Amino acid sequence: MDDMVARLPMEPLSISGDIILRKRHGVVIRELKFRMDLDWGKKPATAKYTIMDALGAKLEEMSVSREDGKPPQFTHSFYGADAKGNAMPDLSDAIQDTDISWTDLTLSFLWWKGESIIGREEIRGRPCYIIAVRPPETGKGGQYSEAHLWLDEKLHMLLQAQGFDKDGKPIRSLWVQGFKKINDRWMIKDMEIQSSPSHRTKLLIDDVNDIDAGKRAEPQP
């Protein structure tokens, strides 16, 4: 798992795209936009996730700070006419009635500890380890008591994940459908998440902006 996290892009990135909720037969129920401002290479690592409506109006925002040896720190705000103040939602709650939770969007389970290899399976022809992880004792996993992650044996990239409640019942499944290479590191590009048998939600990345690309390209004196 440490190698998986180490392979994430460390450069400051601004990522934007769409969240599309569809019924099983493809009928679109709702469309949202999102933006991620990531700086996983910073000390402490920081990330901000903004959810917007189809016209770009801000609805919710979650920020997380991760410092080695300490629990992650989350802050959250609602916006708009239906704003509910700054009360912290359960991280496993669905975002704006989609299938995606804050745990999924922030990929928080990649930082959970106590991992153990519980099996092997091929996903789309790629041999994978199945790794079980548990949320920290601080309760930041919300409804999740455990998650199973399918990691490519060779690339150590996440291909699939499944979250379970305290009774061992699966409550949400996630499939990675595409990757994007950023400065020799791989970043998850598209995901599909399902928490209900009647619909699924797709997260589609449209644009990735490397904030410091211009600085690195400048010739040194």
Residues 187-211 have pLDDT tens digits of 777 899 999 888 999 999 988 888 7
Q: What are phi and psi of 58, to 5 degrees?
A: -70, 135
The β-bridge partners of 103 are none
Is 8 within a domain? yes
Structure tokens at 215: 């600085």
Residue type, 164: F
Is 217 within a domain? no
Coil, strand, or helix at residue 2?
helix
Query: What's residue 213's pLDDT?
Result: 65
**Is the pLDDT at 101 greater than 80, yes or no?**
yes
Is 141 within a domain? yes
Is 219 within a domain? no
Is 131 within a domain? yes
Is 218 within a domain? no
Number of domains into which the chain is organized: 1
183: domain range? 2-212
**Is the pLDDT at 21 greater than 50, yes or no?**
yes
Query: What's residue 116's pLDDT?
Result: 92
pLDDT digits (tens, 9 = 90+) for 127-154: 999 999 998 764 444 678 899 999 999 8
pTM of the model: 0.85
Task: For residue 203, give the CATH number of its domain.
Answer: 2.50.20.10
CB atoms within 10 A of CB 183: 13
Query: What's residue 188's pLDDT?
Result: 78
Is 221 within a domain? no
Is 220 within a domain? no
- Name the average pLDDT for the chain: 86
pLDDT digits (tens, 9 = 90+) for 29-56: 999 999 999 998 899 999 999 999 999 9
